[in-house]
Structure 1
């Protein structure tokens, strides 16, 4: 009972997903009840035939024919009703799961960026795929099977009490015994089912990690170690599954079959003892038939309990994602007219009360200016870029865009105003056209103009399908430089007020770097440009350079001024000159 109380909120929530299709559910239940009734009426006809025709050795052709035709018709109707109720329940299940998967994906997409820093991708994939598939069984298997089984039990018991109430009372003793078995099963199986779901998600996560890191694994000959790792995870999943199967094998069908056999023995014993009023042979036949049919729905209920618990455990995992905290944005929908940025007393750490990544940052960036952030790895450059993008909440200090606090700006306006080109741009396994527009309505002529600006015109033109050429998984048909140029083309299609380049030239050759520099020259005329760079040669023309070290601003000024100071920036620049 405690387990049921614990699981009821999740089960109730899962059932609520069926509300939009309640009319079809009512029809499916009507077909289910009709099919069950048709099944149960069959033995009553045979019982009547045995008692009134067969046992009296009196053959009535017309009555026998009516009974046989009625029996066959009942069986045909039972098949007909059960077939269509199954179709309806499956249709409803597929539609519900589509809705549930959409909700899970929408929640995953709206998760705060920092959640992906700590949450393995494989866990999310497992929730969207495996867990929703388990829940699908709740709608297309568990609910119809439980409903059909309960309906059959009620109708069978009603038929038994109508025929012979003494023997019917004996048959009802099987029900409390089954409830006890179900409670014991639920107590032991729940933690095992949670482990199964966890181990399966862990396997998915490790496969995802292996596939994404295949080059590194093969390069450093780590195949055996990762193979052993997967084998260990699979063994844990196998062990948990085997424990459940052993529990099923003991507590479900064998034990219930034993109880049914004992009840059947009680029938025979009571049939022998009732000397003053011996039940008719037809009634005994009906009771033996009904006991066999009563046994099956009871076993089905207990077996479905296992699937029901798996669905509830999967529901727990899914709703934990759906109910998780979403990325928060403001409500201010006023257009940002300029690209002016003011950073005031900004202090930040990824985890509260932990070491600060940024300390008391104060910068004023005029509109349409070219600003560079430089510093060694871990100085806080990329963290500052992520805060400018609104990816993380700010607790100390503030960033202002056009005098509006960034936390007050709506998601639509923020994404329209400020965009970023990352070191490793994400390219979709889609066409050039789709990768540039990303759903925005832009004409092909505009796309060709943008491709000319980023020097990809001749490349796209040379491809068999031009703009509609498929780029392959993660854009693997393009070089690193071409990917960067394509990501800049996306930016030009959006025309933001502020553009951040997060070490966008770190992994490309000098020739492509010159192309990007040429592109940026045209962008600077109408956009505030923030460049995070390792290659200091790319930022010599910046209006001013912000030098960061251990989360603090240590120097600020133009390239020429910082060289004259002969401080931190000067050492970095001279070191790179010697290196190259």
Structure 2
């Protein structure tokens, strides 16, 4: 019963995507109806020919030619009508799926960051690709097939009753049997189809994981292990698919063909039982033809039941993403006048964990100051940076930007005024120009000026197409340091009030580090600079250094003040000096 309860709301919601194309849909259904009527009228003409011309030997050439021409015209009309309705249904389906995919992507782009921490990327990709493709079949195959089959059944039954109601009543018994088969099929197929969609998404996820981690897999010779993982997922998908195929093989065509055969036997029995002349041969021919044609739409409806179930299960997965909670932001659109940051009594743990990552954090950062967070791995530095970015809601404590609570600031204001350069910045497979502007309106002259500031102009000039050169996927034709400088160049398009650098110099050479240091000195004059530092040499000039350990602030001060304390920071600094 749960499957039936879920079925209709999802189907109704999927059909809403067809609403903008009502006129085209009506035209497509009219063409489909016309084609079906043309198809059904053919056997009536042949029945008339058998009963009134062939059996009575009234071979009137004009009447025969007229019947032949009408029969051919009906078949041609049926072909053309079906062709144009097919084109219309496919156009509507593609447009509807485009809108659905846009909604799915809109929802994915607004997911809380925590969702990406816990949800496999392949599962989400599968919802955008495979599941929307399954829904497309609802629009371009299931809906027209069900409508056409229903109309055919109705017209055929009307024709049967018009010819001979006794035989039509016998044919009518097949309908409740088919409906029963469809309900049984739906009950058993829905859970199996859910498993199929899940295993398909799991295969996508494992392929995504394998391709992204190819360097590590080959380096540590893990090819066999990953082959086995994909093989296992593929086998589970195969088992689920085979269960559905067995269900289809039993409940669909063979069982329906058996029912049709039983009805045909009843026709023959009835024809033989009644006295000669009670039924005309042409009527028997028409009924046998109609029974064959009635069998096909019934089988089509039951087969489309399988496709419909797949579409509903896919729709269920899609709407679970669309309906999932979005990243929440405030409504305050006031421009931030300064980069002042106040962190008060902040405690934080990730949604899938109860252990606090940050405990009782209290930090005041004046506007246009240079602040550094340092500490060993797992001390909570990056978590604190993510909270400042607004990626996670602060449930215990408060973070204020320019004296405004961060959860009250609108998305546009927050993203405009606080930006982050990560340790491994994302480089798009696009031109150098687009990677810097990211769609923002900015002159080429200013871009070159920014490239000069971050010391990348000589590199870009050496590229084949200069600023219009396309960078490789994930910037694989750039060094780590060049990626960092390019990420900083994006920031310089419009200075934010707060700039966070999350271990931005951790994996670069000393020469590039000096270039970044020079760039930071110019940025520092215009915004608050928050640096999560791995190399302590990059934060000697900081106005405030905050030392974190196991999510707690254990000491803070300037570089010189912390060295005099000879505590945790002093030990970290001495250890790094000893390595060089």
Instruction: Give the TM-score category using the shorter length.
Output: over 0.9
| Alignment pair present for 1:48 and 2:51 | no
Single out whichever of 439-448 and 55-64 deviates more from structure 2: 55-64
The Cα of 1:251 is off from its aligned counterpart by 1.1
Q: Distance in 2 between matches of 1:472 and 1:288?
A: 65
> 2:173 maps to what in 1?
173
The Cα of 1:494 is off from its aligned counterpart by 2.7
Q: Distance in 2 between matches of 1:531 and 1:352?
A: 27
Q: Distance in 1 between matches of 2:459 and 2:200?
A: 44
1:183-332 to 2 correspondences below 5 Å: 183-275=183-275, 278-332=278-332
Q: Secondary structure at the match of 1:114?
A: helix
Q: Secondary structure at the match of 1:333?
A: coil
Q: Secondary structure at the match of 2:493?
A: helix
Q: Distance in 1 between matches of 2:276 and 2:428?
A: 84
Q: Secondary structure at the match of 1:319?
A: helix
The Cα of 1:4 is off from its aligned counterpart by 3.2
The Cα of 1:179 is off from its aligned counterpart by 1.0
Q: Distance in 2 between matches of 1:462 and 1:556?
A: 45
The Cα of 1:246 is off from its aligned counterpart by 1.2
CA deviation vs aligned residue, 1:131-182 (integer Å, no higher than 9, x gap): 0001100000000000000000000000000000000000011111111111
- Contact 2:252–2:299 at 8 Å: present in 1 too? yes
1:481-500 to 2 correspondences below 5 Å: 481-500=481-500
1:408-557 to 2 correspondences below 5 Å: 408-557=408-557
> 1:68 maps to what in 2?
68
The Cα of 1:62 is off from its aligned counterpart by 1.5
| Alignment pair present for 1:5 and 2:8 | no
Q: Distance in 1 between matches of 2:272 and 2:242?
A: 44
CA deviation vs aligned residue, 1:380-418 (integer Å, no higher than 9, x gap): 100000000000001111111111000000000000000
> 2:378 maps to what in 1?
378
CA deviation vs aligned residue, 1:17-42 (integer Å, no higher than 9, x gap): 10000110000000000000000011
The Cα of 1:277 is off from its aligned counterpart by 5.3
Q: Distance in 2 between matches of 1:266 and 1:351?
A: 66
- Contact 2:114–2:351 at 8 Å: present in 1 too? no
- Contact 2:337–2:402 at 8 Å: present in 1 too? yes
Q: Secondary structure at the match of 1:308?
A: helix
Q: What is the TM-score normalised by the length of structure 1?
A: 0.99
The Cα of 1:481 is off from its aligned counterpart by 0.5
Q: Structure 2: state its 5+ residue gaps.
A: none
Q: Distance in 2 between matches of 1:571 and 1:80?
A: 84
> 2:392 maps to what in 1?
392
Q: Distance in 2 between matches of 1:440 and 1:241?
A: 48
Q: Distance in 1 between matches of 2:64 and 2:413?
A: 81
Q: Distance in 1 between matches of 2:463 and 2:3?
A: 61
The Cα of 1:353 is off from its aligned counterpart by 7.7
> 2:38 maps to what in 1?
38
CA deviation vs aligned residue, 1:410-430 (integer Å, no higher than 9, x gap): 000000000000000000000
The alignment covers a number of residue pairs equal to 580
Q: Secondary structure at the match of 1:207?
A: helix
- Contact 2:131–2:315 at 8 Å: present in 1 too? yes
CA deviation vs aligned residue, 1:225-265 (integer Å, no higher than 9, x gap): 11011111101101111111111111111111111011001
Q: Distance in 2 between matches of 1:247 and 1:353?
A: 42
> 1:25 maps to what in 2?
25
Q: Distance in 2 between matches of 1:351 and 1:472?
A: 35
- Contact 2:341–2:401 at 8 Å: present in 1 too? yes
Distance 1:489 1:90, change over 3 A: same
CA deviation vs aligned residue, 1:458-509 (integer Å, no higher than 9, x gap): 0101111111101011010100000000000001013111100000000111
The Cα of 1:333 is off from its aligned counterpart by 0.3
Q: Distance in 2 between matches of 1:131 and 1:351?
A: 28
Q: Distance in 1 between matches of 2:159 and 2:63?
A: 22
| Alignment pair present for 1:84 and 2:84 | yes
Q: Distance in 1 between matches of 2:238 and 2:518?
A: 58
Q: Secondary structure at the match of 1:494?
A: coil
CA deviation vs aligned residue, 1:356-397 (integer Å, no higher than 9, x gap): 111111111111100000001111100000000000001111
CA deviation vs aligned residue, 1:419-460 (integer Å, no higher than 9, x gap): 000000000000000100001000000000000000000010
Q: Structure 1: state its 5+ residue gaps.
A: none
CA deviation vs aligned residue, 1:195-224 (integer Å, no higher than 9, x gap): 100000000000000111111111111111
The Cα of 1:2 is off from its aligned counterpart by 6.1
Q: Distance in 2 between matches of 1:307 and 1:59?
A: 49
Q: Secondary structure at the match of 2:128?
A: helix
Q: Distance in 1 between matches of 2:158 and 2:229?
A: 57
Q: Distance in 1 between matches of 2:353 and 2:259?
A: 61
